[in-house]
Amino acid sequence: MMFGVVFPERSYPMDALAFAQIDPLHWLLDMASLVGDAYRDVKDLCVFLLPAAAASLPPGKGLAVYVQPPGHPFLFCGAVHPARPSALLALPWPDPADAPAATGSAKIGISVEDLASLPPVADAGAERRAERLALKVGENLFNFMQSFCGVDGSRLVVPMDILDRWFKKFQERAKRDPSYLKNFSL
């Protein structure tokens, strides 16, 4: 066996036997067997090399991790190799609003590849989560400001200190209730 995976807060550690081995260098996990149609709820994957694999991988090789949403091509998530034997990878599932409904199930693919041929790891999942977080915080600010708005002709008027008041309230609530910020996490 070469690797193991854990879906944080979703699974116990699983080894390569949980994956269908397509050939000696490729493995595939059908997400339907793990979470049914709720694959988008699985945000992260921890992948790690097992000690025997780290020693047996040829120089310059690593395990590349991909996701395949239904009806889409595989998307590169990241890689592990002897110098980086484990990684916590964001799974960049497309937003349902951006993707038409497709049949089939989501898949996780793992393959042995040349490290030099792998694309740089751009954390698209983290970028998407940061964008959603910014939108949630912006919505919170908008709702706060809306309660203080007045109308002057065609313009909305808010007090000059509204941002300071909102930020202080936001900070105080986060200090008082640590679970408050979890409402903003994605």
pLDDT of residue 128: 64
Residue 20 β-bridge partners: 28
pLDDT of residue 68: 92
pLDDT of residue 148: 77
Mean pLDDT by groups of 10 residues along the chain of 186 residues: 85 86 93 84 90 81 93 91 90 74 85 89 59 78 80 77 85 81 66
pLDDT of residue 48: 93
pLDDT of residue 15: 85
pLDDT of residue 126: 59
pLDDT of residue 101: 67
pLDDT of residue 147: 81
